[in-house]
């Protein structure tokens, strides 16, 4: 099944590459270059995490710790750069982040199939939300918080992620209804996490957390949906769902 899943991943990357080709035809040279860099960086990130989960989930667990630490560092960095402005907001944000960290830390200890299912659903949702949004997006969801997010992009990402979850349901051994419910919760929490990080950045008037990942807005900007979605899965597992 792992080989089949990997073929699906590669197929999606091909589709994503075709999507970016048409997107870049409408962009200026610099924007098109940024999209290519983002696409290549995302390719390597997905492969590193995918093979970490497949070959040894403990490797993924250690990588998740690194992601959480670097993410916290980026949150603190923006606070320091602002001259320690909005202290109350900062401490509430750190508290919220630490709650998610606790969930995501335990997510890395779950059964391999569940980790892989969650990771793939999140990655598909994240990627195709962006591609759909850039191709057909018109109506902004939160223009003052995250100007690039559109209703069309969100719908496209959700539909493709939910449809894909049906091909991946063997990883968690669930029936179709439970698979769709699990995937829906994962996607919802991923979206909330993404919006939350965008909101944090806007409070400090910056576009990116850092330039650590080429083409992306920082570690936290890249992994916020994974952290939130992973935390949701832990909640479901602990509740006996």
Other CB atoms within 10 A of residue 199 CB:
15
* pLDDT value at residue 241: 64
Task: State how far the alpha carbon of 211 is from the alpha carbons of 29, 170, 200, 207, in Å.
Answer: 20, 37, 17, 11
Long-range contact set of residues 17-20: C-beta below 8 Å, sequence gap at least 24: 19/131, 19/134, 19/135, 20/131
Q: What are the extents of the domains in the chain?
A: 2-238
Which residue positions in the chain have pLDDT lower than 70?
A: 241
* pLDDT value at residue 21: 86
CA 4 to chain CA centroid, Å, is 22
* pLDDT value at residue 20: 84
Query: Are 37 and 214 a contacting pair, CB within 8 Å?
Result: yes
């Amino acid at each position: 099944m792992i080989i089949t899943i990997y073929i699906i991943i590669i197929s999606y990357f091909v589709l994503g590459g075709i999507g970016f080709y048409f997107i870049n035809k409408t962009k200026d040279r610099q924007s098109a270059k940024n999209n290519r860099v983002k696409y290549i960086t995302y390719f390597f990130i997905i492969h590193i995490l995918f093979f970490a989960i497949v070959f040894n989930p403990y490797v993924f667990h250690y990588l998740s710790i690194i992601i959480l630490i670097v993410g916290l560092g980026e949150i603190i960095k923006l606070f320091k750069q602002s001259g320690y402005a909005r202290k109350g907001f900062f401490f509430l944000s750190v508290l919220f982040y630490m709650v998610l960290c606790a969930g995501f830390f335990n997510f890395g200890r779950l059964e391999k199939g569940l980790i892989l299912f969650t990771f793939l659903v999140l990655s598909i949702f994240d990627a195709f939300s962006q591609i759909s949004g850039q191709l057909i997006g018109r109506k902004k969801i939160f223009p003052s918080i995250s100007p690039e997010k559109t209703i069309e992009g969100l719908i496209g990402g959700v539909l493709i992620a939910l449809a894909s979850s049906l091909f991946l349901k063997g990883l968690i051994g669930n029936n179709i209804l439970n698979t769709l419910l699990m995937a829906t919760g994962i996607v919802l929490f991923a979206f909330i996490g993404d919006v939350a990080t965008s909101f944090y950045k806007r409070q400090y008037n910056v576009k990116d957390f850092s330039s650590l990942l080429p083409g992306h807005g920082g570690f936290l900007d890249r992994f916020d949906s994974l952290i939130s979605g992973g935390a949701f899965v832990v909640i479901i597992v602990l509740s006996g769902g």
